[in-house]
Amino acid sequence: MNAPGAIARERAAASPPSPVLPPLPAGRGGMDLLEALRGALSALAANTLRSILTGLGIFIGVAAVIATVAVGEGARRQVTAQIQSLGANLLIIWGGSATMGGVRLGAGGRSNLSWDDAVAIAREVPQVEVAVGSIRQTFQMVAGNQNWSAVVIAADPDYFVAHEWVPEEGRLFTAEEAAAARKVVILGATVAENLFGEENPVGREIRIRQTPFEVIGVMARKGQNPMGQDQDDAVFIPYWTARRSVMGASRANARQVGTISVKVHEGEDMQEAEEAIRALMRQRHRVAANEPDSVSIRNLSDIQATRDAAARTLSLLLASVAAVSLLVGGIGVMNIMLVSVTERTREIGLRLAVGARRRDVLAQFLLEALVLALLGGAAGVAAGLALSHAVADLAGWPVLVKPDAVLLAVGVSALTGLFFGFWPARRAARLDPIAALRHD
């Protein structure tokens, strides 16, 4: 097998005619970002399972943040909607304890508020748009062979303005009808359902305490109030009709009302209006300077503020949970990057020997940590969105994923990657190339 051809081939393979390459044109110097990114991705792909497990820490943190923020926001909006369903810029005045013949009846006793108090508030407090007295009492009501027990609210049409009731069917009663004490009634949606089922009640008759009323409208549904009561389980009749025909009247209570609803003009300070009303009530009820107020005023924005404060506390709690999980995730990233640097010590030595600058090595490992954290974060955002959609479906409120929460989550995971990746990357960049090349 000593053919001359074989020798020639071998000689050609061992010593090619000119193995020296032509000079290399000068490049820009330094490595490009795309190449660095490709390197980072392939390094992560080389240890797929490890990369996934490391990214999991960030993933869980980010998913939790997105989901909890979305769910929290949804819940908050629902509460806000409930509060707003009661009426915006609304103050409710409750009677204090009435004093009858020197006997103080205590809170919840008979009201000391009168129809005229409401009229006075509307007239004398400039911030007030409407002030209307109302009484409410539960009665059994009958329509045909159906009967139902519900709250009867007796007031003036201004009440609908203050509490933002609008009819779904038919109409509201007018001021003239109210003044004339007409026997007309507007049904809440729940009552209409229970008395008339699917039928349209407008134009039909119901009896409240034997008194026949003509149904002139059905209210649009409001749902629960923040205390969980069904606001639609009520009917509305004119105040004077109630006084004459349903709730009865005596000398003592002929003009009495249970509460006064006050709607303050948009943009006015609720606090100032409240103070003015308080002062007016003290004057009208002849309360001495050293005596406590005769009425209590509930500001619905107070309820909202309380809810908001609770929501803020919850958000803070969620934020700290997120911070802790991102911290743990970040430590995971740092740990795995340190392992990676140790594993690839020879590679780092080689890269330094073939011309990588320290900053090239730093950038390589920093980018790897960043990509790892960002991939975890992006997956976390996706899972968080899915989770909030699922929860929103179950709870029946709209999904409210704020774009800034998503941006924040991604930004924070990027920062986590950079922060926790920096030290391992710096360690890699500062390796002594000789020692690194000898590393086992």
Examine residue 101 and tell whether it contacts another protein (CB under 8 A).
no
Stretch that binds another protein, among 193-201, 211-219, 229-237, 356-364 (CB under 8 A): 356-364
Examine residue 14 and tell whether it contacts another protein (CB under 8 A).
yes
Examine residue 28 and tell whether it contacts another protein (CB under 8 A).
yes
Stretch that binds another protein, among 10-18, 101-109, 213-221, 292-300 (CB under 8 A): 10-18
Question: How far is Cα 252 from Cα 107, in angstroms, rounded to an integer?
Answer: 18
Question: How far is Cα 323 from Cα 316, in angstroms, rounded to an integer?
Answer: 10
Burial 220-258 (b: 16+ CB within 10 A, else e): eebeeebeeebbbbbbbbbbbbbbebbbeeeeebebbbb
Total of residues contacting another protein (CB under 8 A): 46
Burial 87-122 (b: 16+ CB within 10 A, else e): bebbbbbbbbbbeeeeeeeeeeeebbbbbebbbbbb
Please name the helix (run of DSSP H) or strand (run of DSSP E) that holds residue 326, with its range, or none: helix 300-343
Q: Are 127 and 272 in contact (CB under 8 A)?
A: yes
Examine residue 22 and tell whether it contacts another protein (CB under 8 A).
yes
- One-letter amino acid for residue 376 of the chain: G
Examine residue 343 and tell whether it contacts another protein (CB under 8 A).
no
Examine residue 11 and tell whether it contacts another protein (CB under 8 A).
yes
DSSP 338-370: HHHHHHTHHHHHHHHHTT--HHHHHHHHHHHHH
Stretch that binds another protein, among 67-75, 177-185, 314-322, 358-366 (CB under 8 A): 358-366
DSSP 78-98: HHHHHHHHT-TTEEEEEE---
Q: Pattern of binders to another protein over 41-80, x per CB under 8 A?
A: -x---x----------------------------------
Stretch that binds another protein, among 95-103, 168-176, 282-290, 355-363 (CB under 8 A): 355-363
Q: Which residue of 244, 255, 278, 357 would you call a contact of another protein, by CB under 8 A?
A: 357
Examine residue 351 and tell whether it contacts another protein (CB under 8 A).
yes
Examine residue 33 and tell whether it contacts another protein (CB under 8 A).
no
User: Hey, which residues between 419 and 438 contact another protein (CB under 8 A)?
Assistant: 433-434, 437
Stretch that binds another protein, among 25-33, 66-74, 129-137, 416-424 (CB under 8 A): 25-33
* CB nearer another protein, residue 4 or residue 102: 4
Question: How far is Cα 377 from Cα 54, in angstroms, rounded to an integer?
Answer: 11
Examine residue 20 and tell whether it contacts another protein (CB under 8 A).
yes
Q: Which residue of 18, 48, 210, 290 would you call a contact of another protein, by CB under 8 A?
A: 18
* CB nearer another protein, residue 35 or residue 199: 35
E-strand ranges in 242-358 read: 259-264, 295-299
Question: How far is Cα 98 from Cα 36, in angstroms, rounded to an integer?
Answer: 81
DSSP 33-69: HHHHHHHHHHHHHHTHHHHHHHHHHHHHHHHHHHHHH
SS3 388: helix
Phi, psi of 222 (to 5 degrees): -110, -25
Q: Which residue of 23, 102, 108, 403 would you call a contact of another protein, by CB under 8 A?
A: 23
Phi, psi of 274 (to 5 degrees): -60, -45
- The least CB distance from residue 337 to another protein, in Å, is 18
Stretch that binds another protein, among 55-63, 325-333, 345-353, 371-379 (CB under 8 A): 345-353
Examine residue 250 and tell whether it contacts another protein (CB under 8 A).
no
SS3 146: strand
User: Hey, which residues between 360 and 389 contact another protein (CB under 8 A)?
Assistant: 360
**Tokens coding 70:** 């979305």
* CB nearer another protein, residue 48 or residue 210: 48
Residue 427: partners with Cβ closer than 8 Å, 6 or more residues away = 338, 341
Question: How far is Cα 298 from Cα 83, in angstroms, rounded to an integer?
Answer: 13
* CB nearer another protein, residue 93 or residue 425: 425
Q: Which residue of 317, 323, 328, 353 would you call a contact of another protein, by CB under 8 A?
A: 353
Examine residue 222 and tell whether it contacts another protein (CB under 8 A).
no
- The least CB distance from residue 55 to another protein, in Å, is 20
**Closest residue by Cα to residue 362 from 414, 424, 439:** 424
* CB nearer another protein, residue 329 or residue 349: 349
Residues at the site binding another protein, with contacts judged by CB under 8 A: 1-2, 6-7, 9-16, 18-24, 27-32, 34-35, 42, 46, 346-347, 349-360, 433-434, 437
